[in-house]
């Protein structure tokens, strides 16, 4: 799941940002229900999946939702030096070229 979040985040740099008014209301409502105190959120959309990108305690986090407000995945970005040994092992096993 961590790897998926990292890979999906890498694609976000080429996807245009959206305004909140461009996000389906069900997706906005579902996101704000889970994160009522967040106001600084950047949104993007790829193939009907809406991604909220936001910071919590200095950690970049994401939430992917569909237009009906169903949460598909939530994740966070970690620096390589912050990965646990188990995470490093999983990355090495799942992605053989990973150092």
- Domains in the chain with CATH codes: 2-94 (3.30.1450)
Residues 99 and 93: their CA atoms lie apart, in Å, by 11
Question: Residue 8's pLDDT is what?
Answer: 52
Altogether, the residues listed in the chain come to a count of 99
pLDDT tens readout for residues 43-87:
999 999 999 999 998 889 999 999 999 999 999 988 888 889 998
Q: Is 44 exposed, middle or buried, given 0-12, 13-18 or 19+ CB atoms closer than 10 A?
A: buried
- Distance of CA 77 to CAs 19, 42, 50, 58, 90, Å? 23, 15, 18, 10, 16
Confidence band, pLDDT 50/70/90 cuts, at residue 12: very low
Question: Residue 24's pLDDT is what?
Answer: 97
Residues 91 and 85: their CA atoms lie apart, in Å, by 10
């Amino acid at each position: 799941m961590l790897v998926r979040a990292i890979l999906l985040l890498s694609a976000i740099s080429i996807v245009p940002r959206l305004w909140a008014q461009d996000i389906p209301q069900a997706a906005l409502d579902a996101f704000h229900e889970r994160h009522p105190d967040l106001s600084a959120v950047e949104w993007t959309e790829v193939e009907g999946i809406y991604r909220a990108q936001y910071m919590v305690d200095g950690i970049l986090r994401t939430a992917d939702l569909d237009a009906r407000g169903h949460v598909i995945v939530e994740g966070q970005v970690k620096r390589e030096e912050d990965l646990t040994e188990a995470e490093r092992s999983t990355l090495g096993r799942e992605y053989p070229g990973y150092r």
